[in-house]
Structures are given as C-alpha cells and as structure tokens.
Structure 1
Amino acid sequence: MVQSNTNPFNEQEQSIVPVPPDEAGNYSYCSLPKVAPRDLSRIVDRNRANLIQFLDKKWVNGTILHYYFFDQPTYWTTTETEKNVVRKAFDVWKQVGIGLEFKEVNSPDEAEIRIGFQRTDGAWSYIGRDVLNIGRDERTMNFGWDLTRYPGEIDTAVHEIGHTLGFPHEHQNPNAGIVWDEQAVYTELAAPPNNWDRETTYYNIIRKINPDTVQGSSWDPNSIMHYPFGAGLIQAPPKYRNGLTPAPGLSERDKTWVKQFYPLLEEKDYTELKPFQSVPLTLTPGEQMNFRIEPDATRSYTIRTFGTSDTVMVLFEEVNGELRYLTGDDDSGEDYNAEIKVRLFRGRRYVLRIRLYYSDRAGETAVMMW
C-alpha cells in the first residue's frame, strides 16, 4: 500500500492526506498469493530463459481486461462508494495512455479480474496472466480494509491493479540494495494490522525476486509497487534507516514501464494478414505485432509462427464492436512454434496479436495463415 495524488472523494481538492500507519506505527500491506515459478526445461539457455521470465506474465497489448465485483457471498461485497475507488484506480492506469482497456461486467464468467472485499483476508492480487489459472468463482483480487477510510487509499487499489498488469513488488527488486533488520521486520509484521507469519513476511518483503522479472536495472523507491516502511526496518541504504515513504501516485518510471509494455495502439499499428502470405515478425524481445484478419471464406484455418523463436499468439473476434478472446498459444520455452487451428467466418473481423519473447536470429521469424 502506498499513497496517491488522486482524491476519489473531492475532485476539486488538489492535495490529500497520505494514508498513515496505525497507532503502533505499522502499515497495512499487500500480501501476494504464492504461485509456483514457471518450470523451464534445462535445454533452455540462460539468455532465452531470462527473456521468457521477464515477459511471461504480461498481457498481449490491446487486451480488454474485464473486471467484476462479487455480489455473493456477502462477506465479499461492499458499497458502491468503495467500488468507485477501485473504478477510479483503473482509470489512473488508463489515463497514462496505454493500449489495455478496462471494462466492468456483471458476471464472473465474463471477467478475467474478479474482485472481493473480504475484510479478514488482506489486500492482494495475482500477477498478470496468472489470473487466468484461477477458477471463475474465485477472487483474483481482494481488499481487506475499507478503501474509503482515507482519500489516499486509492493507491492501494492502484497497487493491486499494477500486480494484475504484471508488475511485482518493487521493494523486492534485487537491484535495490536494501539490507533489512530481518528480526525487526518479522516482529512488526507479526503484529496488527497485518498479523503475518514468518513465511508470509519473507515472501512479500525480505525475499529478493528473480532479477529477470524486474523492470530495468535500477530501483524506484517511489514506485506505486513499493511499500512504505517505518523507522528501524531498513539498515541500508543509510538514508532510509528512519523510514521510507514513496511519493503519492504513479512514479514517472511506473508510467514509462507500463507504456513500454502496453503502448497506446493506433490504426497504423495494424497489418492485414491474408491466407498464404508469410509476414516477417520484425520484433525485438517484448515487442508486439498486431494483425487484422477478414476471411473471404468460412472454413478452418491454421495460423502459425515460423523460425526459432518464443512467442505468445492470441486471436480475438470482434463482437458488437468489442474484441473478445477466441483462442491463443504460447510456445515459450518449448521446441515447437505457436499454432492456432480455428474456424473463421466470412464477414466477421478478427485481430491477431503476437508478442515476441525471444528469437534465435533476428529477422528470421514469420507468421502465416492458411
């Protein structure tokens, strides 16, 4: 949890009171669900594995992420006022100017993001595409305390949405050089309001995350994905021994990185993909190409990448003016090429998105439909 420069309650107010710690000086923190790391084959070389781990939880750009607020059971529900804080937090990310879209839906069956407000379960979200592995009746995000208690609580929601976009905790960045007073950290987090056991504290604070999953080579102490910390928890860098409080809202680096993965898409960013025409994928790791498909015949098609590469390929169908996920394939870390076999219909419009993780030889990767 961090503080925000956006006030969800008074649009005219230009500054807010940051979220304070409790009377004991402790902050309420986000507790990530534990997910086993991706198991990459031993035949995958280090450079290739690094790129896959850096990108594999990110969405293909242009995805519409649908979110749903549970209306049952009652202990997962909340007021419209609190839901509005979360709605505004989605808008904070969107206003940066990104290619992702966010849309509220009325059924968990339509939602990738399913949000609950169970007060005894802390604040958390799964990271990026991990939400796709969670059952449709289960939460992918939770808020364990009242987001209307302070205006700055909007940053709690912005933080959790950041996880859903694929971003980990910044204070666990191995480039930070943070040296903890580990016993002090365990003692503080075992006390209210968090009441964490040692394993939870280690996983969410002390553990250094894989360097291949962090954004860039430097540390951003003002990131929305960074916790605030009180005095006595950090031993080094020395300037933070008396505490570290990230600046309110999204940092400049937060904005830079989210736009790098999810740049705003324009019509010029799309290429038409026609049957039996090979199109080179002139991409560097992390980049994406977008294709429009308008079949001239209704039949079964195969869409496949070629070359020694790792890609995620996702096909959407336009339904009532909105792109809906149809199917996809991810060949990263495998010995085959991404391939989609699907029946397409004449008169309908489709969009294919391909993000490159890794290519053995630049310029020798392509896609074809037949």
Structure 2
Amino acid sequence: MPGRYCSLPQASAPDFAPGLTAERLSALRGGNRMWVNGTVLHYYFFTGETDGSVIPVPGTAERRRVPWGGAKEQQDVVRECFEEWRGLGIGLTFAEVDDRTEAELRIGFQPGDGSWSTVGRDALRVGLNERTMNFGWDLTEPGERGTALHEIGHALGMLHEHQSPFAGIHWDDEAVYDELAGPPNFWNRDRTFSNILRKLDPDEVNGSAWDPQSIMEYPFPPGLILEPEQFRGGLNPPGSLSALDKDFVLRWYPPADPPLPPALVPFRSAPLGLGPGEQADFTVEPPETRTYRVGTFGDSDAVVVVFEERDGEPRYLAGQDDGGTPGNATVRARLVKGRRYFVRVRLYSSWGPGETAVMCW
C-alpha cells in the first residue's frame, strides 16, 4: 500500500557538555550512533506466544493485544536483506541467534504497530525482552522488500534522507499533516513532524548531498512537496540500495578482514595515532582470570568496546563512550585465561599536546 511509512522511535538527543568546540560537536553528532567496525550484529526473531504488546486500533478508541511473531516467509525477507547489506563487503557482519539475550537486534512482526527500528547503537539501550525493530505489514507484497532494507539501514546508523538539511525540500506542511493523519498511518502531528518535517543537524545526515534515490528516502505522493519543482508531482525512490547508500556504509564500515590484530599486553600502553573517525583493533589474551580495566588516555573523545571470541566470532562484552566528557572511556570486564578478546577503539576527535593511547590493566 503506498504511503506506509517508517516511524522512528522517539529518542532523546545526546546530552553533550556545554562549551565543546565545534569540531568536537560535529564529530560526536556524526558518529555517536555508529557501531565500531568489525562488530558482529546478532539478530533474533520473536516467536513466543507471550511476546506481544497492546496497541491502539487505528481510527478507534479501542486497544488490543497483538503478538510479535512473524511467519517464516516474513523472516526470510529480512534474512535476505541482511545478506544484501553484508554482500556490499562492509566490515560488519550479521548472525541469527535463537537466544534473545545474545542479540543486539531483536525483531518483531506486529501488525498495526508500523515499521520502525532503533538507530545504530541505540539498540543497546533497549531491554532484552523488547524489540529494537518491527515490521508492521507484509514484506512479501510487491515492493515491500525495500522496507526491510530501510529498517536495517537504520540499525546500521542511517537516518531519513528527506530530513537532510541539504535536500532543500519546501513542504506544504498542512498537506503533509493531513496526508499522514489518515490511513494507513494515522499519525498525530508530533509524529509527522518528527519523521518528515523536522530537519536534521548537518552533522547527523548520511552525506553532504541529498540522495532522492536512497533506500532511506520515503516515497511521497503529489501535492506535498512544493520545492524542488521536479518533485511537485511526487517522489518515488526505487526501494533499493543507491550508490550513495553503499558509499556511506563502506566509509563507516570498510572491509575488515586483516590478519589478527596486534596484542594489547596488560600494563603496556599502545599509542593510537588515529585521525577523526578512524579505528584501532587489538587482541587480549589474559595471563590470568580476573577483572580487568581497558581504557584510553589523552585528550580525546573515543568509543572503547570489548568483545569475547566465542565459537569463532566476537561477541559484545562491554563498551563505553566518553564522547563530550572531560574523562576517558574505561571498561571493566572479567576476562578468562585461555580465551581471546578483541578491543576496538574508534576516535571521534583529539586535542592537546599528548598522544591518545589505550591500555589493559
């Protein structure tokens, strides 16, 4: 059905400390939801009869409980779309798991609740028994495969393309509100503003140019866009990954299949020498089983994540983001002798006379 739109969950804006330089704020806004490269994103499909929630019946004052489970045909579309993103050669990989506690992404198929996803690392703030992604209509219908590609794009950290300040879109605001208030969306004005009319900060968007062909672009019927003039008759993206979509994810998640990263030896600091947005990876093979600290030093904003190797792949263990704070990221984790761990550090920005370094102790 034309006009069924993704509705992002409301999320509070990052609360950065006052007085940060423009350079730091730009780096933080642009990268605070992105995963560190080399992450394996595990996804889980809700199937239990008790997994569900109560939602309003559109156009009425009634509410009803609807389960989150989806048929295999629906799940298969999502699996295929994860594979399409992975097939670009990005440094993230995806693995399906049957234990929700091991999943960063937890997926439901609740009709009537719309299609939506948390954005990037926001998924880590969601309770283990809650969804981070939902599909509210039949993905096997013609043209609906793009919905799954779109929501996975959000899970990778991408935002809505039509909200880019570089798009230069001049809306007929009231026509947009009227269109979204009716079927099939039944959105109130706040939701419409948040998902369509609100302009994103230039540092948040997927690129410095608007991409009307992006998988993150909504289609719009005639009469909603006043400018640019060529879209007064409607905007109809193809529902597939565009060249700029591919460029964006490969820029953030370049192919990551190098030799085993260098060892991070306990009590020995390792200088990072990173530029803004760059990442350094290390292995840790602890000499004894105990609680360790892994952290950065120096004047910098960075993300530090520790993974444990299980069954040949890294599983998220702990992480910290010190972006916008005066301190440094320090992760406490129990490391077991005989197991291998990976430490990944991504730099937002650095300043001051000293080098940024990482240490395990």
- The TM-score, its normalising length taken from structure 2, stands at 0.91
Counterpart selection for 1:53 from 25, 29, 34: 29
Measure, in 2, the Cα distance between the counterparts of 1:311 and 1:239.
43
The corresponding residue for 1:215 is 206
Correspondence 1:51-130 to 2 at 5 A:
51-72=27-48, 73=51, 75-130=67-122
The corresponding residue for 1:39 is 15
Deviation at 1:290, TM superposition (A): 0.7
In structure 2, relative to structure 1, the CA distance for the partners of 1:361 and 1:245 (3 Å cut) is farther
Counterpart selection for 1:324 from 315, 318, 327: 315
Structure 1's unaligned 5+ residue stretches are 1-21
Structure 2's unaligned 5+ residue stretches are 52-65
Deviation at 1:204, TM superposition (A): 0.6
Query: What is the CA RMSD across the aligned residues, in angstroms?
Result: 1.6
The corresponding residue for 2:305 is 314
Deviation at 1:191, TM superposition (A): 1.5
For 1:291-313, what per-residue CA distance to the aligned partner results, in whole angstroms no more than 9, with x for missing partners? 11122344443322111000110
Find the residue that maps to 2:250 and give its secondary structure: helix
Measure, in 1, the Cα distance between the counterparts of 2:186 and 2:151.
20
Measure, in 1, the Cα distance between the counterparts of 2:328 and 2:198.
35
Letter in structure 2 aligned against 1:40: F
Measure, in 1, the Cα distance between the counterparts of 2:74 and 2:11.
28
For 1:340-370, what per-residue CA distance to the aligned partner results, in whole angstroms no more than 9, with x for missing partners? 2334333211100001111114872111223
Quick one: percent identity of the two aligned structures? 52
Matched, 1:165 2:156: yes
For 1:168-201, what per-residue CA distance to the aligned partner results, in whole angstroms no more than 9, with x for missing partners? 1011001110000111111111111111111111
Measure, in 1, the Cα distance between the counterparts of 2:9 and 2:93.
25
In structure 2, relative to structure 1, the CA distance for the partners of 1:96 and 1:109 (3 Å cut) is same
For 1:240-275, what per-residue CA distance to the aligned partner results, in whole angstroms no more than 9, with x for missing partners? 111111134101111111011111112247222113
Deviation at 1:329, TM superposition (A): 1.6
Find the residue that maps to 2:144 and give its secondary structure: helix
Range 201-210 or range 72-81, more displaced? 72-81
In structure 2, relative to structure 1, the CA distance for the partners of 1:351 and 1:179 (3 Å cut) is same
Measure, in 2, the Cα distance between the counterparts of 1:232 and 1:363.
56
The corresponding residue for 2:197 is 206
Deviation at 1:81, TM superposition (A): 0.8
The corresponding residue for 1:148 is 140
Contact 2:299 2:354 in 1 (8 A): no
Find the residue that maps to 2:203 and give its secondary structure: helix
Letter in structure 2 aligned against 1:252: A
Contact 1:279 1:367 in 2 (8 A): yes
Measure, in 2, the Cα distance between the counterparts of 1:172 and 1:253.
16
